[in-house]
Amino acid sequence: MTFDSLADLDSALTSPFGLEDAAGAHPAFLVANVAPQARVPHAQRFALALRSVRAVTVGLVSSPLDLPAAELAAHFDILLAPPDIAGDALVESTDFAASIDLIQSTTAAHPAAAVALVELLRLGAYESVPQGLVAESLTYSVLQSGHEFGAWLRGRGPVALPQDNAAPVLTERVGTALQISLNRPSRANAVTAAMRDHLVEALRVASSDPTIEGVVLKGVGDHFCAGGDLAEFGTSPDPAIGHATRLTRSPAWWIAEQATNVRVHLHGSCVGAGIELPAFAGTVVAAPNTSIHLPEVGMGLVPGAGGTVSISRRIGRQRTAFLAITAERIDAYQALAWGLVDRIEL
pLDDT (tens place) for every residue of the chain, 346 residues total? 888 889 999 898 888 887 887 777 777 899 999 999 999 999 999 999 999 999 999 999 999 999 999 999 999 999 999 999 989 999 999 999 999 999 999 999 999 999 999 999 999 999 999 999 999 999 999 999 999 999 999 999 988 888 888 999 999 999 999 999 999 999 999 999 999 999 999 999 999 999 999 999 999 999 999 999 998 988 887 889 999 999 999 999 999 999 999 999 999 999 999 999 999 999 999 999 999 999 999 999 999 999 999 999 999 999 999 999 999 999 999 999 999 999 999 8
Contact by Cβ (8 Å): 246, 148? no
Q: What is the C-alpha separation between 144 and 322, in angstroms, rounded?
A: 22
Contact by Cβ (8 Å): 314, 279? yes
Q: Of 346, 329, 342, 207, which Cα lies nearest the Cα of 270?
A: 329
Q: Is the peptide bond before 278 cis (omega within 30 degrees of 0)?
A: no
For 134, list phi and psi in degrees, rounded to 5.
-65, -50
Contact by Cβ (8 Å): 188, 231? no
Residue 24 has a pLDDT of: 73
CA distances from 64 to 70, 81, 119, 140, 252 (A): 9, 9, 27, 36, 37
217 exposure class (CB count in 10 Å sphere: 0-12, 13-18, 19+): buried
Q: What is the C-alpha separation between 6 and 58, in angstroms, rounded?
A: 11
Which residues 6+ apart lie within 8 Å of 18 measured at CB?
Answer: 12, 49
Q: Distance from CA of residue 201 to its chain's centroid? A: 25
Q: Of 224, 225, 276, which Cα lies nearest the Cα of 252?
A: 276
Q: What is the C-alpha separation between 150 and 195, in angstroms, rounded?
A: 25
208 exposure class (CB count in 10 Å sphere: 0-12, 13-18, 19+): exposed
Residue 28 has a pLDDT of: 85
Q: Of 174, 344, 178, which Cα lies nearest the Cα of 261?
A: 178
Q: What is the C-alpha separation between 141 and 244, in angstroms, rounded?
A: 10
Residue 77 has a pLDDT of: 98
Helices (H), the chain: 6-14, 18-23, 43-52, 67-73, 96-109, 111-122, 129-144, 147-156, 193-208, 239-248, 251-257, 273-276, 307-315, 317-326, 332-338
DSSP single-letter state for residue 269: E
